[in-house]
Structure 1
Amino acid sequence: MSVEFKTYIDQACRAAEEFTNIYYETMDRRRHALARLYLDKATLIWNGNVVKGLEALNNFFEMLPSSDFQVNMLACQPVHEQATQAQSTVLVVTYGTVKFDGNKQHYFNQNFLLTAQTNLGSPVWKIASDCFRFQEWATY
């Protein structure tokens, strides 16, 4: 593995850790600001339901009950530049538990495709695609 690629992986991991902390804290404590983490034309798939665009994302997040997310595992990898037209992109996968107000605790997994946007000369990671799914374990 080249030193350059190793550096790219390290940067992706740091970005993923920072992003994950910001995302779930915002989801639990400042939900009104959550859509700011998404690109204008971002797509969210929440348990099979598609939500597209910032206005729809805002409306969706406002209707969710208050939450308490616990991330138990985080994995990430940079997406090769050839697949993203030289746009810095990171795939982030999280697993954990969530309890929505008035509901039982659920296991969940969530996949984010983050892309770097330049804001005042420094990169800001925005969500291009987000897929959230409750994990229900089959009992036999």
Structure 2
Amino acid sequence: MAASVGFKTSVDQACRAAEEFVNIYYEIMDKRRRSLTRLYLDKAALIWNGNVVTGPEALTNFFEMLPSSEFQVNMLDCQPVHEQATQSQTTVLVVTSGTVKFEGNRKHYFNQSFLLTAQSTPDHTVWKIASDCFRFQDWATS
């Protein structure tokens, strides 16, 4: 019974972290993109439609090249990642999908997966992106 209570606590923590993170991430993406790299670990990897971007400077340059955006998240799912798979680091897998309209382009469906890792200080926990995979779902449009 104690193990299931621990797992339920992990799931609840993952859900709270995912909802908070998604609200922050897409607001920053749409309105304050210059601040977006602060959400990533220094060694984080972004895979954007098959193109790999790593490192704070490369992420900053990449995000600044994107046209302004309007993201609408239609689905959010999350789960804790077992500590055996992450060297005892508290980690959450977050998956979103929805639509995005970049200035000058038509609306696209997208899917995005994040691996978030907890960075704890004595006062609070901050979730940082360890891995981010974004993909347009153009096959879904007719």
TM range (shorter): over 0.9
What is the RMSD computed on CA atoms of the aligned residues?
A: 1.5
**TM-superposed deviation, 1:121:** 3.2
Structure 2 unmatched ranges of 5 or more: none
CA distance in 1, matches of 2:110, 2:24: 18
Pair 1:138–1:19, CA change in 2 (3 A)? closer
Q: Matches of 1:118 and 1:47 in 2, distance apart? A: 31
Superposed CA offset, 1:9-51 (max 9, x none): 0000000000000000000000000000000010000000000
Amino acid in the other structure paired with 2:10:
Y
Please give the TM-score of this superposition, normalised by the length of structure 2. 0.95
Sort the Cα spacing of 1:4 and 1:60 in 2 relative to 1 into closer, same or farther, 3 A.
same
TM-score normalized by the length of structure 1: 0.96
**Distance 1:111-1:85 versus aligned 2 partners, 3 A rule:** same
Offset from partner CA, 1:35-72 (integer Å, 9 cap, x none)? 00000010000000000011100000000000000000
Q: Distance in 2 between matches of 1:27 and 1:138?
A: 23
In the alignment, is residue 37 of structure 1 matched against residue 39 of structure 2?
yes
Identity of aligned residues (%): 78
Letter of the 2:32 partner, please give it: R
Aligned to 2:13: 11
User: What amino acid is the match of 1:102?
Assistant: G
Q: Residues 138, 117 of structure 1: CA spacing in aligned structure 2 closer, same or farther, 3 A cutoff? A: closer
